[in-house]
A and B are shown apart, each in its own frame.
Chain A
Amino acid sequence: EVQLVESGGGLVQPGGSLRLSCAASGFTISSNWMHWVRQAPGKGLVWVSRIKIDVSDTSYADSVKGRFTISRDNAKNTLYLQMNSLRAEDTAVYYCARENWQVWSWGQGTLVTVSS
């Protein structure tokens, strides 16, 4: 069974950093395209970042480019999102997702709150 479990969210001050993790089971993340998607409170879904099978092939939404970095640890079968220079508008639930051909599988999300 495919399972994605996010962790690492919490309260952080503006300008601070946080690293999110997404532990995968039931499949190998290095064989799939993986994504981070976020959802601000009461708002819709917004794609944040993607990493392809070639680990050097990554992409980002303009709103996070230069501040966020997606990566993975194949040995731990875990996806990461390093978030730096955080802003209030980054406050959201962050979901990791697996893209397997046409089927996306999602984790339960982790909440990031950026506030002083």
Chain B
Amino acid sequence: DIVLTQSPGTLSLSPGERATLSCRASQSVSSAYFTWYQQKPGQAPRLLIYGSSTRATGIPDRFSGSGSGTDFTLTINRLEPEDFAVYYCQQYDASSITFGQGTRLEIK
């Protein structure tokens, strides 16, 4: 199975700053089937980015995704208080579905 490794494990930033989250795959994955989620305590994952770079419906434009092959990035500009949460990357295809272990974005 494809292993997704997210870094850093925890990111401590202040509101207004920029967050850069990384997700590295153990082998090349299709950008079309690469996704980012946000999850807050007690809630289901919320779709942020699909197809590596397309924002889901209702997601503010301060969230952006990029990358291809084995390296993907989620960038959050001008952090808002509601952005502090855990973020997961995901890849999926006909034979394999895996998630990264998550990056916790916490208020500094």
Residues of A within 8 A of B (CB): 35, 44-47, 50, 95, 99, 102-109
Residues of chain B within 8 A of A95, CB atoms compared: 44-45
B65 at interface by CB-CB < 8 Å: no
Checking B44, B92, B97, B101 against A106 with a beta-carbon cut-off of 8 angstroms, the contacting residue is B44
- Of the four ranges (under 10, 10 to 19, 20 to 34, 35 or more), the interface on chain B belongs to 20 to 34
Cβ contact within 8 Å between A106 and B45 = yes
Interface positions, chain B 21-39, Cβ under 8 Å from A, are: 32-33, 35, 37, 39
Check if B99 sits within 8 Å of A47, measured CB to CB: yes
Nearest chain B CB to A36's CB is how many angstroms away?
11
CA–CA, A47 to B33, complex, Å?
Answer: 15
State A112–B85 Cα separation when bound (angstroms).
24
- Which residue from chain B places its CB closest to the CB of A57 in the assembled complex? B94
Q: List, in ascending order, chain A residues with CB within 8 A of B39's CB.
A: 45
Q: Is the CB of A44 within 8 A of B35?
A: no
Give 15 A-B pairs besides A50-B97, A99-B92 with Cβ atoms closer than 8 angstroms.
A35-B97, A44-B99, A44-B100, A44-B101, A45-B45, A45-B88, A45-B90, A45-B99, A46-B99, A47-B99, A106-B44, A106-B45, A107-B44, A108-B44, A109-B44
